[in-house]
Structure 1
């Protein structure tokens, strides 16, 4: 009932609270240049001239791009012009996407999709859904990204928009690859290649880009499935086609992937030929900040590390680090953690303790930074969803019958909450009884007999898990500084190997593994130790190695399906009844 009362208070608060997004750019926020040009953008009758004017000003001063499109959006609102609003929303979202502000990009994408759906405009629907999907993909919300891509796919198929259909299929396959559905992705890539080979599809827009992307994706899936022979077949086919079409970026990608594959099968001389070709092509392009160069150097460093030439490996990695000279650039490099890990191991093998410590700290900093970015993104998504909810409630409050609607809505919610509460109590009771009937113990891992990575052998995996089981007896997982790096050190391995082995043989991340050990320890102590049951929740979280109660609560809920407070109350009741 307390939850119902809180909800009613919250609803009454929303009824009296007005949230309205600022639709217009205030004069105070404009630069001197924009103030001069504002009237022209807002009142020039010929829209083609306005568009050309904005394009010219953006070329002169790219930093003002967003402000000019905000002004253009203002005109769209003043004139209630759908086309202007849609155009401005798309480009404002695209700007945020390029800047890495993916939550804002999603916001603009949804505003555009709402407009396009009202107007039944399929072109802007496709643009909106694709922008939203790409943004979700960047923040690793893969399920949400897939929903958007499937909307695009439905429109493109029903309207025979072949070029966009193939591009969307490639996006969907990219998601499949990221969530390790390699076989499913490979089948789809192969079907896409067969479709693109048909005569009627060879005239579509961006044909070569779609075709080469599909070939590259098929090669990557074969590589990840350890079918290196077929991976090389696809990569070589793609390289030849990219050379025929004179598409330099694809030539660089295929030379890199061929080199990577030859490293995997220990043919280092062949790998060196292709990686050097990739590097020459990159230098010919002469880009200031070229991500492909970092990939090439990373592969070269891996090659020389595997050959035992650790100083040479460090040279290539140092070349990368000299170019990646800011945290903003670090975030744009996909394999930056692997680079620092390899650099730390190379420094260790050369006996350079100072560099070893530096690279180890850099690796930890990146891991912490990415974790914080994830937390910030989730917070922003929560705030955005809350604002959206408030806007919808504000729209409802403008209706004359808002009070009656609010009462009816509240009454329905109360009934639903009561039903939900009863159902939840039953479910919780079942879950609790199941937990109590189970014997709490950490079962030894069962290594998967299928080898998933070339550098992993069954014997190595068995030895690693034996070491893990040994240190589990010491309750190492209860330490606050228990992390991937420190655990890898405890069992004489490196973070990359430990993480990949956990993912592929235990089918869980390192953090999931530690949480499982901690929660099992908690369940056991709650059953057996009366002193432990007397601790505050904050003290218990600290005893388990968690830095906050919220982190412990989330881990417990994920593993058991129950809240920690419900479980602890039930345990206390059971103990009390047993004593009676």
Structure 2
């Protein structure tokens, strides 16, 4: 599952001694760019400087987002204790200010870290707070991710029916408001995999195909290959070996590109054995 993080974009134009709020905003944007490039050490360093300078000029946005970004940077580097420390700092700081986005994002990060630690009940508590904040403030753009986060907890707990319920809520709202295709694809993929776990092969194929089409359009080869693999495996387990074979063969070149050929080859061997067995009957 994937960590979902939304960038807070607010514009402020007040100038203070030495460092301006505009400069801090630019540094926050730079920190986010480091995140997108996978340069988490740089993200951490920039964000710590932002927090220090923001405290000096009493700029709450820089402190709130700075703590949040530091937590993300540590989390992405596997430094979980430090990540949780700064995520909690972000939560505590957000409680002192009337900005529901700061509260929602910080609770989401704490929830994601706790989920990683397998502390599902505590993670669920924080994810539900984020969802409530989005609902209370009628922020529909935040809802798909909020529902997906809840779905992920139930998925991890093997409560797949509940997971599907939340994934579908996120999917419905995401389509309604034309949210980014990548979020639609992710919720579709999650829904398909949950159906796969329940052995609902037809539904698994339905949602995985939806995800596959979007991933192909986006050029996300790795996610497209993963979707294709579970589509083929769903057909295989449902006994539709010819369709399974077609999906595997069609996507084998792509699987080679993302170094996933071995599992495709293994599945194809299983499919071919079943086809030969059927021919022999």
- TM-score calculated relative to the size of structure 2: 0.75
Instruction: Establish whether residue 140 from structure 1 lines up as the match of residue 114 from structure 2.
Output: no
Q: Give the CA deviation at 1:196.
A: 4.5
Where do residues 249-328 of structure 1 align in structure 2 (5 Å cutoff)?
A: 250-265=223-238, 267=240, 270-281=243-254, 293-294=259-260, 297-304=262-269
Partner of 2:77: 99
* Aligned 8 A contact 1:102 1:135 in 2: yes
Q: How many Å separate the matches in 2 of 1:120 and 1:51?
A: 19
| Aligned partner (choices 162, 182, 186) of residue 164 of structure 2 | 186
Q: Which residue of 2 aligns with 1:73?
A: 51
Q: State the SS of the aligned residue for 1:118.
A: coil
Shift of 1:88: 1.4
| 1:204-243 alignment, distance < 5 Å | 205-206=179-180, 208-243=181-216
Please state if 1:154 is matched with 2:132.
yes
Partners of 1:241 and 1:51 in 2: how far apart?
Answer: 33
Larger radius of gyration: 1
Partners of 1:89 and 1:68 in 2: how far apart?
11
* Secondary structure of 1:231's aligned partner: helix
Please give the root-mean-square deviation of Cα atoms over the aligned residues, in Å: 3.3
Q: Does 1:130 align with 2:104?
A: no
Shift of 1:150: 0.2
Query: Shift in Å at residue 44 of structure 1?
Result: 3.3
Cα offsets for 1:132-184 (capped at 9, x unmatched): 11111222211111111100110001111112111111111111112111222
Preserved contact between residue 129 and residue 148 of structure 1 (Cα < 8 Å): yes
For residues 317-356 of structure 1, the aligned pairs below 5 Å read none
Residues 276 and 88 from structure 1, CA distance in 2 versus in 1: closer, same or farther, beyond 3 angstroms? farther
How far residue 258 of structure 1 moved from its aligned partner, in angstroms, is 0.7
Aligned to 1:452: none
1:76 deviates by: 2.8
Give the corresponding residue for 1:167: 145
Change (3 A) 1:89 1:277: farther
Give the Cα separation in 2 of the matches to 1:85 and 1:192. 30
SS in 2 for 1:49: helix
1:278 Cα offset (Å) = 4.1
Distance in 1 separating the partners of 2:159 and 2:24: 48
The answer to whether the Cα contact below 8 Å between 1:113 and 1:128 also exists between their aligned partners in 2 is: yes
- Is 1:228–1:261's contact at 8 Å kept on the other side of the alignment? yes
Q: Aligned residue pairs: how many? A: 253
Which consecutive unaligned segments of at least 5 residues does structure 2 have? 1-16, 274-281
User: 3-state DSSP class of the match of 1:119?
Assistant: coil
Matched-pair contact (CA < 8 Å) for 2:47–2:69: yes
Counterpart Cα distance in 1 of 2:222 and 2:183? 13
Q: Which runs of 5+ in 1 are unaligned?
A: 1-42, 285-289, 309-580
